[in-house]
Amino acid sequence: MIHYKTAEDIQVIKESAQILGRAHAEVAKAIKPGVKTKDLDKIADEYIKDNGGWPSFKNYHGFPTALCISVNETVVHGFPGDYELRESDIISVDCGVKYKGFHSDSAYTYPLEKVSPEVLKLLDRTYESLYLGIAQAKAGNRIGDVSFAVQNHVEQFGYGVVRELVGHGVGKDLHEDPEVPNYGKRGKGPKIVPGMVFAIEPMINMGTKNVVQEKDGWTIRTNDRKPSAHFEHMVAIFEDRTEIVTTHEYIEESYKFKWRNRSR
């Protein structure tokens, strides 16, 4: 069942997303070689709580932390811990905030400064696919139009599109209908109508689309252990427009390595 949002609901989601965006920025400032991923989690956890929110992921079906931190071949749902970042790593930071009863959810993949040009290309093209998907997320289209736009862009470069994990509706629950796959056919799937709020989140692998789940029951990594990139925004659908309600602006102001389009 799809839960449609009022203009007032969307306004609260935007407020939640502002806290989320600034929490991401605080994490971005701290990403560098030698930092433990659990220290990044502490930064986000404290910032969200200090600003009147609650980390959506913490205790969600038993997940223990505020952030999902996924490094290199880890696609999503990695646990923060004692791992120390290296200068050739990429790190996906996925975070959610619950504020005044509504969730927000976004993700960003950071390259450290000695990532290879090939991996930077993966990040660039995954980021591009997010915005191509968003361009199709408008009233009158279907979810399959979003899915096709993502898949069509990245597969031309030989990348693998993860099938097992998808975008999703967001609202009073962290995961709602509709599901938003990163693969599909134009003109298929639920019709996009005003009042929908959902997350689009390409999860794109440098190699095979196939993934495996680790024994911890959460961590998903690529089957061939090649890198994976992950970016996520939430959109709100209106009759005459689509609004991106989450923001990467604060991240890109804060992260010292200005990486986008360096692979060109």
Q: What CATH code is carried by the domain that includes residue 226?
A: 3.90.230.10
- The answer as to whether 1 is a domain residue is no
Cα(233)–Cα(231) distance, integer angstroms: 7
**Cis upstream peptide for 178 (omega within 30°):** yes
Looking at the predicted structure, is the pLDDT value of residue 16 above 90?
yes
Q: What is the pLDDT of residue 262?
A: 77
Q: How confident is the model at residue 92 (pLDDT cuts 50, 70, 90)?
A: very high
Q: What is the mean pLDDT of residues 56-61?
A: 96
* Alpha-carbon gap, residue 133 to 96, rounded angstroms: 21
For the residues 67-75, what does the mean pLDDT come to? 98
Tens-digit pLDDT profile for residues 97-141: 999 999 999 999 999 999 999 999 999 999 999 999 999 999 999
Looking at the domain assignment, is residue 262 inside a domain? no
Q: Name, in order, each residue with C-beta under 8 angstroms of 67's C-beta and a sequence gap of 6 or more.
A: 27, 40, 41, 44, 45, 55, 57, 80, 93, 94, 95
Grouping H, G, I as helix, E, B as strand and the rest as coil, residue 1 is coil
Classify residue 191: in a domain, yes or no. yes
Residue 239 resides in a domain: yes
**Which tokens sit at 238?**
């209106």
Q: Which residues pair with 7 in a beta bridge?
A: none
Report the sign of the C-alpha dihedral through residues 143, 144, 150, 153, in that order.
negative
Q: What is the pLDDT at residue 264?
A: 63
2 located within any domain = no
161-179 per-position pLDDT tens digit: 999 999 999 999 999 999 9
Q: Is residue 25 part of a domain?
A: yes
Whether residue 121 lies inside any domain: the answer is yes
- C-alpha 231/C-alpha 128 separation (Å) is 10
- The Cα 121–Cα 11 span in angstroms is 35
Domain that holds residue 78: 7-254
What integer pLDDT is reported at residue 261 of this predicted model? 77
Q: How would you class 60 by CB atoms within 10 Å of its CB: exposed for 0-12, middle for 13-18, buried for 19 or more?
A: middle
Tell me the mean pLDDT in the region 190-207: 98
Q: Are 66 and 78 in contact (CB under 8 A)?
A: no
User: 256: which residues sit within 8 A by CB, 6+ positions away?
Assistant: none
Mean pLDDT of the chain: 97
CA distances, 20 to each of 33, 92, 154 (Å):
24, 15, 27
How far is 204 from 188, CA to CA, in rounded Å? 21
Residue 263 within a domain: no
| Number of compact structural domains in the chain | 1
What are 34-56's pLDDT values in tens digits?
A: 999 999 999 999 999 999 999 99
Query: How far is the C-alpha of 130 from the C-alpha of 227, rounded, in Å?
Result: 18
Task: Please tell me the distance from the alpha carbon of residue 112 to that of residue 71, in angstroms, as a whole number.
Answer: 11
Residues 15-41, mean pLDDT to the nearest whole number: 98
Residue in this structure with the two tokens 């609004």, named with its chain if needed = 243
